[in-house]
Structure 1
Amino acid sequence: MELLRYYETRNLAKDYDKYRPSYSQEVAEKIMKEVHLQIHSSTPFTKLGKMLDVGCGGGQATCLFSPYFESVLGIDISAGQISVAIEKNIRKNVQFQLVNSGKFPLPDNSIEFVNCATAAHWLDITLFQSECERVLKRNGCVALYAYLHKEVIDMDTGRMLALEHDYRQAIRIFFEAIYAHPRNRLVEKRYEPIFDQLANPTKRWVENITFVKYDTFHTFRGYFDTIGEYRNTMNNRVTGDKDPLDEMMKRLKEIWELNDKQDNEIQLKVIYEVNTIMFHKE
């Protein structure tokens, strides 16, 4: 499977870091609780040796795990994302490395944990699982997960905004207009196809992981503005073509009955669900 490169530029990497939600520390805590339960010799207060973050992007998830490990390595195929991750990193036990294949730059049986945050849908899952089982020590764990909008609440009124048929249709029209790669659908399907594809018999779901981000309507737009295929579409747009993101955001305002407000006046509480799969090396 060829490497899919939709998040290459540094400008996109900086905007991605600005507008995409940051995982809460609670996400790392819940995952690490599972890791410590699997690695029987450790306690929740004992640092483990080394972890790898695959598809680390700008390091949004990577650094959350630094308190739990002596050494953390984040890898990504995007030079722009890696440059942003290195630029903002202040943790001495965290490093980032550019890679150009699905192979991990680590020796066999060398680490305790592999993390993959909102990136697994871009990967060759068969190769990913094989590489995880190669580099992990016995009982070492893997977590792969992606966030998805669960609830959006209008902070002014406390009203829960609909994320059902009309919302999904607006998103679908936008994705069609930007020629979004079909693998984006794996996130919408809550990674269930990836779970089915994994051959490791220890695979399991970790339930009830969520986190919250507070947005204006403008910064909520930034979530979609940082989709790689949208940026490619806009770079190749012919003068006079409609902006598919403008069209989608207008439609969302209509669906949510927010047309009487400016984008920066609309305050939103966005709850994300984190659909999380874990497995370990037997």
Structure 2
Amino acid sequence: MAVRLFEGKDHAASYLQYRVAPQELISKIMDYMKKKTQNQFKLAVDVGCGSGQGTILLAPYFTTVVGTDISPAQLEAASANSRPPNVSYRECPAEELPFAAGEVDLVTAMTAAHWFDRPRFLQEADRVLRSGGCLALLSYSLSMTLEYGDVSDALNDICKEFYAALIPYRSPYLGPSSMNIYLDMFNSCTYQDKEWNECLHVKRTLPLRGYIGMVKTFSNYQKLKEKDPAEAERLSNDIQNKLLSAMKASSPDTEVTMVVHYFYWLACKP
């Protein structure tokens, strides 16, 4: 990996607890694969798998699923979590996958490829994919929105305040836009058979504290926390209190609908 993050045990535990498992995106990937390949679903590799929420969603479709990550803490969290018997995990860089050339049916990276050495990763994905195998990269923007009764607009003004406070702590490696990173990777992929999808809304009903917890797992919040733990905690508490006030609610266990804005691309190796 070009950048190493999310490696502390506490962060890995929060990642497992709060990050969204994108079942809707798995359905899109599998619909694409079924159109492109002849029921060859033996081995799927989920690169940068973190604590494995997305990895296990591939289990019903493949004989074997392997999640890879460079972080021992993330893999420990993934291994400790309940998983199907055909799912396992390997520690390795995204750019050095422990698979033979042409061995893999699907290579995916879920909200991780922006941290890779991207040209090297694309070369490595091409090496391990079989002819007719598929590559699927997906991520989402930080600008999640909230829905709650007739105060959704007010909530989202507060959310924007949260995101704006974190902008100074964004990694320079990411540049101004994660979506542009994925679009650049899409354009540099030499496969002719490929699809770019800019917006898929994934909705989850969860306690308000779950939304706050998810934002706190992001790298820019973690950077603020590393620099000034008291300020990070003050910011998240202030945002939570403002949201509760707008909702006229007293408990952070009050449920809201969080809307996550995904973008993704799919490609089939000739």
TM-score bracket for this pair, using the shorter chain length: 0.7 to 0.9
User: What is the correspondence of 1:16-165 to structure 2 with a 5 Å cutoff?
Assistant: 16-24=15-23, 26-39=24-37, 41-42=38-39, 48-100=41-93, 102-148=95-141, 149=143, 151-154=145-148, 157-161=149-153
Deviation at 1:268, TM superposition (A): 1.2
TM-score by length of 2: 0.86
SS at match of 1:191: helix
Q: 238, 242, 257: which one pairs with 1:269?
A: 257
User: Do residues 172 (structure 1) and 194 (structure 2) align?
Assistant: no
**Which residue in the other structure is 1:278 paired with?**
266
Q: Which residue of 2 aligns with 1:192?
A: 183
CA contact (8 A) 1:76 1:82 kept: yes
Per the alignment, residue 3 of structure 2 pairs with: 4
Question: Are the equivalent residues in 1 in contact too, given 2:6–2:71 (CA < 8 A)?
Answer: yes
Secondary structure of the residue that 2:80 maps to in structure 1? helix
1:118-176 per-position Cα deviation (integer Å, ceiling 9, x unaligned): 0011112211111111111111001100134554201xx24433687775454132231
Change (3 A) 1:275 1:163: farther
Q: Pick the structure with more helix per residue.
A: 2
Q: In structure 1, the residue corresponding to 2:49 is in which secondary structure?
A: coil
| Partners of 1:125 and 1:197 within 8 A in 2 | no
Identity over the aligned pairs, expressed in percent?
22
Change (3 A) 1:93 1:244: same
Alpha carbon RMSD of aligned pairs, Å? 2.9
In structure 2, what residue type is equivalent to 1:218?
Answer: R
Structure 1 residues 263 and 179, CA, compared in 2 at 3 Å: closer, same or farther?
farther
Cα distance in 2, alignment partners of residues 162 and 180 from structure 1: 29
Identify if the C-alpha distance between structure 1 residues 93 and 109 changes in structure 2 by more than 3 Å, giving closer, same or farther: same
Deviations 1:38-69, CA, capped at 9 Å, x for gaps: 11x22xxxx61111100000011001011111
With 181-190 and 194-203 compared, the bigger mean Cα shift is at 181-190
For residue 216 of structure 2, the aligned residue among 225, 238, 246 is: 225
Amino acid at match of 1:258: A
Where structure 1 has 5 or more consecutive residues not aligned to the other structure, the ranges are: none
**Structure 2 gaps, min length 5:** none
SS of the residue aligned with 2:262?
Answer: strand
Equivalent pair of 2:145/2:156 in contact (CA under 8 Å):
no
2:6 counterpart letter in structure 1: Y
1:115 touches 1:143 (CA, 8 Å); kept in 2?
yes
Runs of 4+ displaced beyond 6 Å = 163-166
Aligned partners of 1:222 and 1:65: how far apart in 2?
A: 25
